[in-house]
Chain A
Amino acid sequence: MPSFLTSFKTIVHNRYLVGIWVWKDLHGRYVGSAGGWLWALLFPAAMMATYFFIFSFFLRIRVPYAPGATGYFIFLMSALLPWGATAEALSRSTTVFREQAILVQKVAFPLEVLPAYIIVVAFFQPVIGMILFTVAVSLIKGLTLTAVLFLPVVMVVQFFFNLGLVFALSAVSVLFRDLTQGIGVLLQIWFFATPILYPVSMVPDALQWFTRINPLAMLALIYQSLFLQGQILVQEFGIFSLWTMAFWWLGSMVFNRLRHVIPDLV
């Protein structure tokens, strides 16, 4: 069986353990606080409310396909929220094995569980944000049923995109600790190189090629189009899916090749 299928099978097989780790991480954030799980809702709600007021009443930026005072707010959030899921997963991936060094060395459990739980946890806040955002957008300007139904499909593909990258990074960063610092720098550059804050039409013609090869630019365009025009960008979705498969295959292969040395090096 190819390695990308075996590693996925391992995750599915150990879904209870992955779930326990997700619960430990999330519950661990809120346990002991009076607000508890309410904070999980309050944080994205507060962020969205702030952005809504700033970009609707103060910084009234106009972008194509986004009419009205709330246009830029919708444009910005539609790509910023999903970006958070990938960015958090990638930045946590480089330390996940070292943080759990003792467990990795002393308890025999499938190592796939650790990167897998990082990906799920990284999706948690963005998913709550997306739900609130979807409700907000449908109240502000209405959303087509196609957009609402296609949204989870895109997110599932994004989940597998993260999976490939996180698998590769988590394993390689055990060998090369510089990645922990490097990924922070890379994410910062990547964020501004991706049309999240600005529309893709503002990218100079000489640099348009970069947008076409940047998988997260494809993803941003897909989300923006869903929320602003209610359209599915078939071509971009196809390109992003190809990237996803490539990373998934590569990430699983790298992970399976390095898995035996991970406990030695953490």
Chain B
Amino acid sequence: MYAVEVHSLGKIYRMYTNPKDRIKEVLFRKCCHVPFAALYNISFSVEQGETFGIIGENGAGKSTLLKIMAGTLTPTSGTVQIRGRLAALLELGAGFHPDFTGEENIYLNGALLGLSRKEIEAKLDQIASFSELGDFIRRPVGIYSSGMYLRLAFSIATSVDPEILVVDEALSVGDLHFQKKSIDRLMKFREAGKTIIFCTHNLYQLKHLCPRALWLKHGTAAAIGETERVIAAYESYLMGKDLPAEETKPSPSKQKDLYGHELRLEQVQVLDGAGREKQEFASFDDIQIRIALHGMAPSVDCHVGLVITRRDHVHFFATSTQIDGVPPLTIKKGEKRTVRVNFPRIPLLAGEYLLCVYALDQHGVRVYDLAEYISPFFVSSGKTEMGIIYMEHRWEEKD
């Protein structure tokens, strides 16, 4: 049973360069606006009791999506089906008046969140004690520290007792004690079998709280699925974005001039231990890299170099037939030769990885051909350790 079902959702805003254009459009029925698609063709569903994450850069449409789910914005196309009472924590302390006491603000905020007078009165003590404000509950919130303010706001917001909770960044504020408390409360929601939709920039939190996630990119769903995969793709995208575009795509004409015509790298494939081509692996899977070369000069002696890297150009490991003491391949004109590099039990943790492959002369100096930042493959770790590679370790209590 789905708690939230979003089907081909779209949100288009009308942009006007001049306020007069809006009047013109109404009066003369002429089109004076530029459409801007904040969300385009988004579909996903969240199971009852699931904790679902949403990530994306600023301006990717996260807030628009959350607001549509919360019911404040109306989608331009598509549908959102909500099964159960939904509460959205998009704005903590909505409707607070700084001159009113904490207690008075509980009434203001509670009423806005849809609570009746009786419900608020019944929850008053519980809200006050969770917020840990003590006697300050009877002082105006204007004199509160920002932490106290947020504690009160969070206490009210989560006292609504919804079946579906939509949370926007609410946890990345406040001091550590408050953050822990608020996460604990979310965990309690989760244990109670409630559905949580969670939007954050904190990928660590996301990984820990949500088994599945959605990555929004320029208003479209760039990836939906297992959080680890989605995060890997997202991080990889962020890394690639920081680099100048031409660096990742060398122009073919330049290559020819620089590297000559003796040899061509024909194909690079990533295979699993059984030799089947694959893109998705788990940590400690066996991997083979298959490199096919095509001879173009009468006879060429060649070494092959391989780098395992990432979109941000960090090289994790580089080796070559020369380094490993493998004799050079001799390739005749028109001949096709392949080499395989076997990596048993790769210790890589979750992420997207890329290859750079080089065909070099027998001294390992001159480059015949190269292919950089190609053949992306994903690793999911199923482990909670952070970082890039898994390092053997053990803990002991010892001086």
Contacts and interface: CB of A to CB of B under 8 A. Distances in A.
Interface string B1-44: 00000000000010000010011001000000000000000000
A84 to B, nearest CB: 24
A103 B108 contact: no
B344 interface: no
B13 A264 contact: yes
Given A24-B97, A28-B100, A264-B73, A105 B67 contact: yes
B149 to A, nearest CB: 15
Nearest to B90: A106
B354 interface: no
A43 B221 CA distance: 58
Interface in A106-132: 106-109
Given A107-B113, A264-B13, A176 B70 contact: no
B57 interface: no
B111 A103 contact: no
A146 B174 CA distance: 62
Contact of B72 (A24, A108, A178): A108
B108 A107 contact: no
Given A28-B99, A102-B91, A107 B111 contact: no
Contact of B112 (A109, A176, A261, A263): A109
A27 B100 contact: yes
Contacts of A16: 111, 116-117
Contact of A104 (B23, B72, B116, B140): B72
Contact of B94 (A31, A107, A264): A107
Contacts of B150: none
Interface in A210-266: 260-261, 263-264
Interface string B270-296: 000000000000000000000000000
Given A102-B91, A106-B67, A106-B72, A31 B116 contact: no
Residue among A28, A32, A108 with the highest chain B CB neighbour number at 10 A? A108
A177 interface: yes
Contacts of A261: 74
Nearest to A18: B111
Interface string B79-100: 0000000001011001101011
Nearest to B94: A107
Given A17-B111, A176-B23, A103 B99 contact: no
A108 B94 contact: no
Contacts of A104: 72
Given A107-B113, A108-B70, A109-B112, A20 B88 contact: no
A20 B91 contact: no
A175 interface: yes
Contact of A20 (B72, B108, B140): B108
B107 interface: yes
A253 to B, nearest CB: 16
Contacts of A28: 97, 99-100
A102 B90 CA distance: 10
A86 B107 CA distance: 29
Contact-residue size bin, chain A (C-beta under 8 Å from the other chain): 20 to 34
A105 B64 CA distance: 9
B114 interface: yes
Nearest to B92: A106
Contacts of B100: 24, 27-28, 31
A170 to B, nearest CB: 17
A24 B116 CA distance: 16
B38 to A, nearest CB: 10
A24 B104 CA distance: 9
Given A103-B91, A107-B91, A264-B13, A24 B73 contact: no
Contacts of A102: 91, 94
A20 B67 contact: no
Nearest to B91: A106
A97 to B, nearest CB: 12
A109 B114 contact: yes
Given A107-B90, A107-B112, A176-B23, A260 B99 contact: no
A264 B74 CA distance: 8
B147 interface: no
A140 to B, nearest CB: 39
A103 B94 contact: yes
Interface in A69-113: 102-109
Residue among A32, A102, A264 with the highest chain B CB neighbour number at 10 A? A264
8 contacts: A16-B116, A106-B67, A107-B72, A108-B70, A109-B112, A178-B19, A260-B74, A264-B13
Interface of B: 13, 19, 22-23, 26, 67, 70-74, 88, 90-91, 94-95, 97, 99-100, 104, 107-108, 111-114, 116-117, 140
Given A28-B100, A107-B94, A109-B113, 16 more contacts: A17-B111, A24-B95, A27-B104, A28-B99, A32-B99, A103-B94, A103-B95, A105-B67, A105-B72, A106-B67, A107-B90, A107-B95, A107-B113, A176-B19, A263-B72, A263-B74
The 8 closest A-B pairs by CB, nearest first: A106-B91, A106-B90, A108-B71, A260-B74, A20-B111, A31-B99, A107-B94, A17-B111
